Amino acid sequence: MMPKLLFILCILLGLWSCEATQDPVYPPHLSDCYRLHELTEKKDPARPGEWLYNKPGDMHQSLKAYIASGPYRTDSLHKKLYLVKIGAFDADAQAIFELTVNYLADYFQIDTDTIPALDAGLIPHAFKRIHQGVPQLKSIYILDSLLPHYKPADAFALIAFTSTDLYPEDDWNFVFGQAKLRNGLGVWSLARLGKEGRDNPSNQTLLRALKIAGHETGHMFSMPHCVNNVCNMNGSNSLAENDRQPEWLCWECLAKLCYNRNISPQKHLEALRAFHEKAGSDAAIIRYYKTALQRL
């Protein structure tokens, strides 16, 4: 009798072990994201000067790991994404800011709003500098010491937008933007993105601003840098590297977004297709969203 009981026990333990190690069954809207994997390109090995070459510690995070991490999300009391300007804005920068408010609403399927602009004089002199002839604001001060005082009570997150260049630490030359993964605060800058007009017939400055806005806001939804795929969540060390990266998300980062916001990929893709068509964006971007929608 004892050998038979041991045999049955071993079978039961084996079945439990197999079940315990299986990947979770994702809901259909996350499985739909995987159907876009054929549109996702693998990232080439990093070259000298690129983000991953200088930051080899950035590691891949799977969808399963993202879900298990308990990412920062909206709740019944904190539902809105707020944007705020810091410092002076000319007419072109103001137009980009207004478009970005609408863009982020479409991208993250979230209510967006603005709060009154903040004077750059609120940032102490100790957290400003002139670097290589360029005025800069220290982004980590903005995140840790300025924005927390202005985050509305119903805010999921608050992201600041400035025309002034940013730097995170004294030993860095600059940063396009910076955001917290857990407390819903971020900042990004137009300073290095070019100027609209005759030198930018394809609205290149706007596209660069939208890419950085989507990237930094993605961080505020606890999404880390994407290191495996060509994706809007790739890190970048230069404007040239940023320009090589797409405006859209890879399938896995899109699945993270859809999980966080509890939305279908179709809602995200269709909203951005409509946004870019209305904005007159580059044809390749519109074509991507149309192709992605056809796959679902």
Q: Which residue range(s) make up the domain with 251?
A: 26-295
| DSSP 8-state secondary structure symbol assigned to residue 45 | P
In this predicted structure, what is the pLDDT of residue 5? Answer: 42
Residue 74 in any domain: the answer is yes
In this predicted structure, what is the pLDDT of residue 25? Answer: 62
In this predicted structure, what is the pLDDT of residue 1? Answer: 44
Domain at 123, CATH number: 3.40.390.10
Residue 267 in any domain: the answer is yes
In this predicted structure, what is the pLDDT of residue 165? Answer: 96
Task: Name 188's bridge partners.
Answer: 161, 177
Q: Please, what are the averages of pLDDT over each run of 10 residues along the chain (296 residues)? A: 41 34 64 94 94 91 96 97 97 94 98 98 98 96 98 98 96 93 94 64 82 96 97 95 96 98 98 96 95 97
Dihedral, 92, 170, 238, 212 alpha carbons, nearest 10: -50
H helix runs in the chain, sequence order: 2-21, 28-34, 51-54, 63-68, 91-108, 139-141, 204-220, 239-244, 251-261, 265-279, 283-295
Q: Does the reported pTM lie above 0.85?
A: yes
Residue 217 in any domain: the answer is yes
Query: Do 195 and 92 meet the contact criterion of CB atoms below 8 Å apart?
Result: yes
In this predicted structure, what is the pLDDT of residue 279? Answer: 92
Residue 4 in any domain: the answer is no
Task: Name 175's bridge partners.
Answer: 166
In this predicted structure, what is the pLDDT of residue 194? Answer: 82
Residue 269 in any domain: the answer is yes
Residue 5 in any domain: the answer is no
Residue 7 in any domain: the answer is no
In this predicted structure, what is the pLDDT of residue 219? Answer: 96
In this predicted structure, what is the pLDDT of residue 143? Answer: 97
Query: Do 257 and 268 meet the contact criterion of CB atoms below 8 Å apart?
Result: yes
Q: Which of 116, 78, 114, 115 is nearest to 221 (CA)?
A: 78
In this predicted structure, what is the pLDDT of residue 28? Answer: 82
Query: Do 183 and 222 meet the contact criterion of CB atoms below 8 Å apart?
Result: no
Give the total residue count for the chain.
296
Query: Do 243 and 211 meet the contact criterion of CB atoms below 8 Å apart?
Result: no
- Pairing type for strands 80-86 and 155-162 reads parallel
Question: How many domains does the chain contain in total?
Answer: 1
| DSSP 8-state secondary structure symbol assigned to residue 246 | -
Residue 91 in any domain: the answer is yes
Indicate if the alpha-carbon torsion angle 163, 114, 254, 167 is positive or negative: positive
